Amino acid sequence: MKVGFIGLGLMGRPMALHLEKAGHELHLWARRPESLAPFAKVNAKTHASPAEVAAHAEVVIVMVADAPDVEKVCLGADGLAAGGKAGLIVVDMSTINPNAARSIGLRLAEKGIDFVDAPVSGGETGAINAALTVMAGGKAAAFEKVRPLLEKMGKSVTLIGDSGAGQVAKACNQILTGVGTLAVAEAFNFAAKSGVDPARVREALLGGFAYSKILENHGQRMLDRNFKPGFKAWMHQKDLRIVMEEAHRLGLMLPSAAVTAQVFNAIVGSGMGENDSISALMLLEKMSTPG
Amino acid sequence: MQLGFIGLGAMGRPMAEHLLRAGHELSVWSRRPESAAALIEQGAQWYASPAEVARHAEIVCTNVTGSADVEGLAFGSEGLAAGLAPGSLHVDFSTIAPSAARHIAARYAATGVDFVDAPVSGGSGGAQSATLSIMWGGESALAARLQSVFGVLGKTIVRVGETGAGQVTKACNQMVMVAAIEAAAEAALLATAAGVDFSKVRAAMLHGSAGSRVLDVFGGRMAMKDFRRGVEARLHHKDYALLMDEAARIGAPLPVSGAVAQQLNSLMSRGWGTDDTSSLLRVLEAGCGTDPAR
């Protein structure tokens, strides 16, 4: 298949390479030409604009930072909509506001272009190992056409519902992982300040009802004091901001997510935004120590 | 002075009336012409667009709802920017995002027009009695010109800093005030649930260290169970979106405000958005077994 790919960062680059390895012909555009270097020796053609990519591809995958970026790539001057023919499918794998996704989908539909929101969880490691969790929203027919592509990048690929539903699922994922990471950090700090070894606590809890992947994986990295990303704290902060914006719009009470969002503000504000989001532990340690 | 005024709602209309009575010439435009009728009777001049108002004014005042409304008035088709001469001034009394205020000022600067963000506190009561608190951001050199407008409308006038500083101050004002309303509501809940009369608790606290204007006014409404009068809670809810967004943009932790925002979200869903913010007590009661809706 001729597949366009825009957004060749930490996540996008390995994802695009998986598609090429599976035999697909890549059509690329990048804001910074150096992002194209890893594709020099593979089956990939580079183009001068998203519009040109859209004109040469059956499916275009977008993996950028935030809603304004997705909007610009899709609907800006020389965007995908300017070059795509009716029948093109745009798959946005970025994490953006569900409402923004719905509105971009509607505007692309005016041109006969299908839009699937398909944000992922699993971080850079998941992208490199083709083990991402993909949560999709959009029309079933469009989803079925792109499912084989998504399965080359992810281990678990689920159509959740209509347009925007993938982003809603991702927001739910970020509530659980954000609150969960903070809970593990609080438990470890509580144990340590009580004079108890958090490693022993973790071991004991892994067999019980408090077991979670976060306790197992993030917990181990906290014990190893390995704060390299992973998933950067500023990205988790951005995602929680989306959650809280939607809570405001819908009139929802999300007390735990709200507190967690404020802790992530503190992580980013105190200069740890480029670390992994398990840096929540370092923040709590700092806040529980004489200044 | 030749003034323009756009946004003749519960706040804007009494403000515009004070300016007329102080002897200023006033040009007005309104999306719904009927909201200008009373002012025109008192001598204001009607024009067909914001641009026309701007052509007849040295200072144009606006008081509307959100960032997008102010931007639309300024730079939409037949907007203020199309009519404001170099050296003239746009004073915005609305509560909007600080970053939006800075953005608007930067766009005006290209055409030699000054912009001042001047959000107010004091509600429609303060607008009627000309006792508003005005917190403004912009060039300090504008202070003398602004005095002929601000002095007519408010009692406390503070230039806080450069453009956007007024909006940052308003965000702080809303944050402190609504958190205090929530604290008063929690006191009312605890007192009542413990079988103690909150109106007596309030009276006892009012002149002690916990005494405050919020405990007096909003606490009074809670004691009377009078949730109808006052400030529409939906406006505080709107302001919270602005300040929580600003906190996330900067990376500033606001744990109490984050929690208060959730109580306001619930208040909206329960259907009390057009009632007073003392309805935060009703949100707490809904989780306490004394829920009147049950």
In tens, the pLDDT along A132-155 reads 999 999 999 999 999 999 999 999
User: Looking at the 3D structure of chain B, how many domains does it have?
Assistant: 2
Question: Does B258 contact A259 at a Cβ distance shorter than 8 Å?
Answer: yes
- State the CATH number of the domain containing residue B55: 3.40.50.720
B245 falls within a domain: yes
Is residue B180 located within the same domain as residue B280?
yes
A237 contacts on B by Cβ (under 8 Å): 248, 251
Catalytic one among B170, B200, B225, B238?
Answer: B170
Residue A239 has pLDDT above 50, yes or no: yes
Distance from CA of B154 to the nearest CA of A (A): 32
Distance from CA of A258 to the nearest CA of B (A): 5
Q: List the single residue in A237, A245, A259 with the smallest CB-CB distance to B259.
A: A259
B177 and B157, same domain (yes or no): no
**B146 within some domain:** yes
pLDDT at B285 over 80: yes
- pLDDT surpassing 60 at residue B286: yes
Residues B236 and B254 in one domain: yes
Could you say which of A240, A251, A259 has the minimum Cβ distance to residue B269? A251
Integer Rg of chain B from CA: 21
Whether residue A170 contacts residue A135, with contact meaning beta carbons closer than 8 Å, is answered with yes
Average pLDDT over residues B281-285: 94
A183-189: long-range contacts at Cβ-Cβ below 8 A with a sequence spacing of 24 or more?
A183/A214, A184/A212, A184/A214, A184/A215, A184/A218, A184/A219, A184/A222, A185/A222, A185/A278, A185/A280, A185/A281, A185/A283, A185/A284, A186/A284, A188/A219, A188/A222, A188/A223, A188/A281, A189/A281, A189/A284, A189/A285, A189/A288
Residue type, A250: L
Binary contact (B258, A266; C-beta < 8 A): no
The per-residue pLDDT for range B22-53, each reduced to its tens digit, is: 999 999 999 999 999 999 999 999 999 999 99
* Residue A170 designated active-site: yes
CA dist A248 and A252 (Å) reads 6
- Could you tell me if B217 and B236 lie in one domain? yes
Nearest to A248 among B241, B252, B253 (CB): B241
B33 and B65 share a domain? yes
Residues B151 and B248 in one domain: no
Cβ-based neighbour number of residue A250 at 10 Å: 12
* One domain, residues B210 and B271: yes
Mutation test of the interface with chain A: which of B178, B265, B268, B270, choosing the one with the most A Cβ atoms within 10 A? B265
Provide the percentage of residues in chain A whose pLDDT is more than 90: 95
**Whether B106 and B172 share a structural domain:** no
Residue B249: phi and psi, rounded to 5, are -60, -40
Are residue B149 and residue B179 in the same domain, yes or no?
A: no
Report the candidate in A228, A235, A234 with the shortest Cα–Cα distance to residue A276.
A228
Mean residue pLDDT of chain B comes to 94
B292 inside domain: no
Whether residues A266 and B250 touch (CB distance < 8 A) is answered with no
Among candidate residues A138, A96, A97, the one with its CA nearest the CA of residue A248: A97
Q: B190 and B91: one domain? A: no
Q: What is the tens place of the pLDDT at every residue in A45-58?
A: 999 999 999 999 99
Q: Is residue B294 assigned to a domain?
A: no
- Kindly state the average pLDDT of the residues A12-39: 96
Choose one of B133, B161, B189: the last residue of a domain. B161
Chain A: residue whose CA lies nearest to B272: A251
Residues B123 and B231: beta-carbon distance below 8 Å = yes
Distance (Å) from the C-alpha of residue A245 to the closest C-alpha of chain B?
A: 7
Distance from CA of A180 to the nearest CA of B (A): 17
Average pLDDT over residues B251-265: 96
**Distance to chain B for A253, nearest Cα, Å:** 5
Task: Among B182, B262, B270, pick the best mutation site for testing chain A contact (most A Cβ within 10 A).
Answer: B262
- A244–B contact, CB cutoff 8 A: yes
Burial of A269 (0-12, 13-18, 19+ CB in 10 A): middle
Domains and CATH numbers, chain A: 2-161 (3.40.50.720), 168-287 (1.10.1040.10)
Rounded to a whole number, what is the distance in Å from the CA of A42 to chain B's nearest CA?
A: 39
In this complex, is the C-beta atom of A248 within 8 Å of any C-beta atom belonging to chain B?
Answer: yes
In terms of residue numbers, what domain contains B66? 2-161
A245 to chain B: which residues are within 8 Å by CB? Answer: 241, 245
What's the mean per-residue pLDDT of chain A? 96
Interface contact flag, B261 A237, Cβ < 8 Å? no
Return the residue in A239, A262, A279 with the most chain B beta carbons within 10 A, the one to mutate for interface testing. Answer: A262
Contact A265 B259 (CB under 8 A): no
A250:B253 CB<8 A:
no
pLDDT of A13 above 70: yes
Query: How many CB pairs (< 8 A) connect A and B?
Result: 73
Position B74 scores a pLDDT of: 97
Contact (CB<8Å) B258/A262? yes
- Is B291 inside a domain boundary? no
Nearest CA in chain A to B248: A265
The answer to whether A265 contacts chain B (CB < 8 Å) is yes
What CATH number does the domain containing B218 carry? Answer: 1.10.1040.10
pLDDT, mean of residues B127-131: 96
| Model pLDDT, residue B294 | 46
pLDDT, position B292? 52
Q: Please, which pLDDT band fits residue B289 given cuts at 50, 70 and 90?
A: low
Give yes or no: residues B38 and B152 share one domain.
yes
The one catalytic residue in A72, A85, A170, A193 is A170
Average confidence (pLDDT) over A58-77: 96
- Residue B89 is assigned to a structural domain of this protein: yes
Q: Are residues B106 and B189 in the same domain?
A: no
- Model confidence at A173, pLDDT cuts 50, 70, 90, reads very high
Q: Is the residue at B74 inside a domain?
A: yes
User: Is residue B48 one of the residues assigned to a domain?
Assistant: yes
Q: How confident is the model at residue B288, as a pLDDT?
A: 80
Tell me the chain A residues in contact with residue B265 when contact means C-beta distances shorter than 8 Å. 247-248, 250-254
Q: Any residues with CB less than 8 A from the CB of A238 and at least 6 apart, and which? A: A65, A66, A95
CB contact under 8 A, B248 and A247: no
pLDDT at B145: 96
Q: Which of B161, B189, B209 is the last residue of a domain?
A: B161
Do B265 and A248 lie within an 8 Å CB cutoff?
yes
Tell me phi and psi for residue B90, to 5 degrees.
-110, 120
Percent over 90 (pLDDT), chain B: 92
pLDDT of residue A177: 94
3-class DSSP state of B220: helix
Q: Which residues contact B63 (CB under 8 A, 6 or more apart)?
A: B5, B6, B7, B9, B11, B12, B15, B92, B93, B94
pLDDT in tens, B168-219: 999 999 999 999 999 999 999 999 988 899 999 999 999 999 999 999 999 9
Residue B247, min C-alpha distance to chain A (Å): 7
Q: Of B146, B161, B176, at which residue does a domain stop?
A: B161
What pLDDT shows up at residue A161? 97
